[in-house]
Amino acid sequence: MDNVPAAFILCCQLASLTGVSSIRDLPGCWEHQVEDWNLSFNGHDNAVANSNGDPVPALSVWVSHRTLIVCGCISPFDGMIIGSSENDLITALEKAITELGGVPATLEQQEPSA
């Protein structure tokens, strides 16, 4: 998991904390809003359109922002966000995970082992 983008790991963790056990088994994308960020997670082996009609590539998360002209796509292999910083998305995901009682995986990696 060392090479998996942090934003993708956090999207997976957030989905799990919201009660989603298998995104692959959903009829379409799992969609969720985190602050001003809209996430559309496609767990299928082929592209699927989200509720806005945006084509979400297989096994990827389509990211858009409500107030900025920002979009991006994140997969387990790579990702890109245009118009904003990936760190802004990561901060919002970490906050959402913490609010649901979780410890963001990105913060677990930073804590020294005892």
CA atoms of 2 and 29, how far apart (whole Å): 25
Instruction: For the chain, give the percent of residues with pLDDT over 70.
Output: 94
Per-residue model confidence (pLDDT) at position 71: 85
Please give the angle made by the CA atoms of 63, 74 and 81, to the nearest 5 degrees.
60
For the chain, the structural domain boundaries read: 6-101
pLDDT in tens, 89-101: 999 999 999 999 9
Non-local (6+) Cβ contacts of 39 within 8 A are 11, 14, 30, 31, 32, 33, 61, 62, 63
Per-residue model confidence as pLDDT tens digits over 32-66 = 999 999 999 999 999 999 999 999 999 999 999 88
Specify the range with the lowest mean pLDDT, choosing from 14-28, 66-80, 100-114. 100-114
More confident: 44 or 112? 44
Residue 2 has a pLDDT of 72
| Residue 33 backbone phi and psi in degrees, to 5 | -110, 135
